[in-house]
Amino acid sequence: MKVLVTGASGMLGRAVATSLLARGDEVTVLQRSSAGLPGAREVLGSVDDPDAVEIACTGQEAVIHLAAKVSFTGPAEDFQRINIRGTWLLLDGARRAGATRFVQVSSPSVAHTGGSLVCQGAGPADPLLARGSYARTKAVAELEALGADGPGFAVVAVRPHIVWGPGDTQLVQRVVDRAAAGRLPLIGSGAPLVDTTYVDNAAAALVAALDRAEDAHGEAFVVTNGEPRPVRDIMCAWCRAAGVRPPAWSVPPRAARLAGAVVEAAWTLLPEQVTAGDEPPMTRFLAEQLSTAHWFDLRRTREALSWAPEVSFDDGVARLADFYAQRAGTAVATDAAR
């Protein structure tokens, strides 16, 4: 199958493209910087660029759309341009190219309204209630994608929850860096149950959604490891895997949310050279996520996608520890060679 994967320079996008290549699919990748994937046709550009999208979609039979602006802060128009307009351009380009399958990578945050999110299924995407520009624009994008589902064009939305793994710079490395600097608090007791998704499991689910699109089309599915853990245990496990001290102090949830609101407002006033490439230490959304439960019933996902997670949380942590050990060994060897 000829498959376009957007966002292949990211951890999950790369894992998806690698899986497709390994099984013999013809893969095209579209992202702003080179993914360096041997065997893949590469198109450099942004998903909000009509010319780049048209080139990338040419000749494709299917699309897995991962590229997005993922951040806790930033101008609302940037989220709209990438997450909404980018999705619309990909949908239009895919249909005009004759593609018959489209997997929209969404987020459980499209159904998050500030409290615990414990669902029997995916739950409805609601742009009016979703918290923050990222979640709101992803909700709109998901609805746009599912609205394009129809005869000859099967659309499936998949919502992986908290994807992590070796080499993860968006989540794990930020947790580790802040813990090492003593700037990582627990919010409240750290007891709320949160489910996460090891990267290999998330990639397998997206490939399964592609394969099952003609049967599972028109629906949204949450993907996780199916192993809810206290958020405290998750962060401590990642820190120990990296060899740093886990968080030893906490902030009351109400205080964290108030601090998040203040930090968000202040962050927008800082010079771009200060905020570039970094996230604020706390936001209202982050405080909510770290102090409320988020786990899901996966029975419908497993049935519809004929998929099940294969890498457990503990096995994933062991792989993460191996990654950090190897990286430390490489750094030592490099220093010795100087």
Query: Would you call 134 a catalytic residue per the annotation?
Result: yes
Long-range contacts of 287-290 (CB under 8 A, 24+ apart): 287/187, 287/253, 287/256, 287/257, 287/259, 287/260, 288/112, 288/114, 288/115, 288/131, 288/257, 289/112, 290/186, 290/187, 290/190, 290/231, 290/256
Give the whole-angstrom CA distance, residue 106 versus residue 176: 26
Say which of 102, 134, 296, 324 is annotated catalytic. Answer: 134
**CA angle, 240 then 159 then 278, to 5°:** 50
Length of the chain: 338
Long-range contacts of 38-41 (CB under 8 A, 24+ apart): 40/8
Give the whole-angstrom CA distance, residue 248 versus residue 236: 10
Give the whole-angstrom CA distance, residue 251 versus residue 158: 33
Buried b (16+ CB within 10 A) or exposed e, 177-210: ebbeeeebbbbbebebbbbbbbbbbbbbbbbbbb
Task: Give me the active site residues, please.
Answer: 134
